[in-house]
């Protein structure tokens, strides 16, 4: 059942206010997100919740969209949309969907939403299957290298 436009915007503003009040949590949600430059779709329209619920990459549907900060997220169902709205920091891909192996080298490379891993209850997207496999062999070390470089790389991303 679709929300009336007024209720949708009220809910969207309430979620934005909660995120702004969250302080450090908002920094994770505020990460620059891989988005299609023409449509504004985060992670190219794939449903970030489906990686957890379906264990596969699933394209979202236009009727289930939610804007969070500067990105439009799509979902396969109203339930997935609601789950993301309640906890975007859980479902948003780590590093905004940029490949953590490239980030560890100080380079921003958009991850491919069909090349992914969920590790430690976090979603990671990768540019190549080789990058995914390398990360999967030692995720703690790879994530530590990405964590170190991510703030500087994020500053260099085009607004």
Beta-bridged to residue 117, according to DSSP, are: 124
Instruction: Encode pLDDT of 105-131 as tens digits.
Output: 999 999 999 999 999 889 999 999 999
Burial per residue of 20-57, b for 16 or more beta-carbon CB atoms within 10 angstroms, e otherwise = eeeeeebebbbbbbbbeeeeebbbbbbbbbbbbeeeeb
Structure tokens at 95: 């590093």
Give me the pLDDT at residue 159, please: 55
Instruction: Encode pLDDT of 25-48 as tens digits.
Output: 233 444 688 988 899 999 999 999
Instruction: Encode pLDDT of 6-23 as tens digits.
Output: 544 444 434 333 333 333
Q: How confident is the model at residue 158 (pLDDT cuts 50, 70, 90)?
A: low
Using the structure block, give the residue that is written with the tokens 């023409």.
38
Q: Rounded to an integer, what distance in angstroms lies between the CA atom of residue 48 and that of residue 93?
A: 7
Phi/psi at 12 (5° precision)? -60, -40
What is the percent of the chain where pLDDT is above 90? 68
């Amino acid at each position: 059942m679709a929300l009336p436009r007024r209720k949708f915007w009220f809910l969207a503003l309430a979620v934005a206010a909660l995120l702004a009040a969250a302080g450090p949590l908002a920094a994770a949600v505020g990460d620059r997100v891989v988005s299609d430059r023409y449509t504004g779709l985060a992670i190219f329209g794939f449903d970030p919740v489906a990686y957890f619920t379906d264990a596969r990459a699933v394209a979202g549907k236009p009727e289930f969209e939610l804007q969070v900060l500067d990105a439009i997220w799509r979902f396969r169902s109203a339930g997935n949309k609601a789950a993301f709205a309640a906890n975007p920091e859980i479902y948003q891909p780590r590093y905004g969907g940029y490949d953590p192996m490239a980030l560890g080298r100080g380079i921003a490379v958009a991850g491919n939403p069909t090349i992914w891993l969920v590790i430690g209850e976090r979603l990671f997207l990768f540019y190549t299957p080789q990058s995914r496999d390398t990360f999967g062999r030692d995720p703690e070390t790879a994530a530590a290298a990405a964590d170190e470089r991510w703030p500087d790389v994020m500053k260099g991303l085009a607004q």
